[in-house]
Amino acid sequence: MTTPPASSPAFPLDWSADLSAIANHLVARGWLLATAESCTGGGIAAACTDVSGSSAWFDRGWVTYSNAAKSAQIGVDAALIDQFGAVSEPVARAMAIGAQRHAHTHIAIATTGIAGPTGGSPEKPVGLVWFAWSVGTEVWTERRDFSGDRAAVRTQAVAYAIGQLRQHLDNRQEGAS
């Protein structure tokens, strides 16, 4: 389990440095970001749009909390949800790809998980979050297990999604140098 951040589990954590770096990367390339969020409930989009000038690099966000919304809004195949469950790597991947495709952006972030306190199982415990990031044609996913109450899980997931995108963009820039 990931240890909760030392600060309050409620919004906001200070992710301004990560968002500033992401903004610089995206604006320099003329790229836009979209989000598709389930368990984070729009928290990533809210963090992005808290930044003044974010309209230059943030396009849109979907809160696709229900399975039907995942299918109708961003094109996640219902059969994929039926086979693997909404909280799964294949669904997170399909959410990121679907958000990127529907928004016509260069980058998308997706989250799906179980924030709790109910809804967990031995196979998919409370605190489990699947992430997917899509940058151009590259897509990667990661599973994280967070601890704490519902607010702590959601806050940690938002911070992790933003932090990992920044790290990836920083590494891409270093590789291009």
pLDDT in tens, 36-89: 999 999 999 999 999 999 999 999 999 999 999 999 999 999 999 999 999 999
Phi-psi region of 119 (alpha: psi -120 to 50; beta: other; left: phi over 0): left
Question: What residue segments make up the domains of the chain, in order of their start?
Answer: 16-176
Domain 16-176 - what CATH class?
alpha beta
Q: What is the pLDDT of residues 104-140, one digit of tens each?
A: 999 999 999 999 999 999 999 999 999 999 999 999 9
Two tokens at 32? 């836009």
Q: Tell me the mean pLDDT in the region 6-32.
A: 79
State the pLDDT at residue 59. Answer: 98
Which amino acid is it at 141? Answer: T
d(CA 26, CA 15): 16
Give, in order, the Cα–Cα distances in Å from 8 to each of 40, 142, 147, 154: 17, 24, 13, 12
Q: Kind and range of the H or E element at 113?
A: strand 107-113
Taking the model in full, what pTM does it have? 0.91
Q: What is the bridge-based pairing of β-strands 138-145 and 33-37?
A: unpaired
Closest CA to 96 of 57, 67, 64: 64
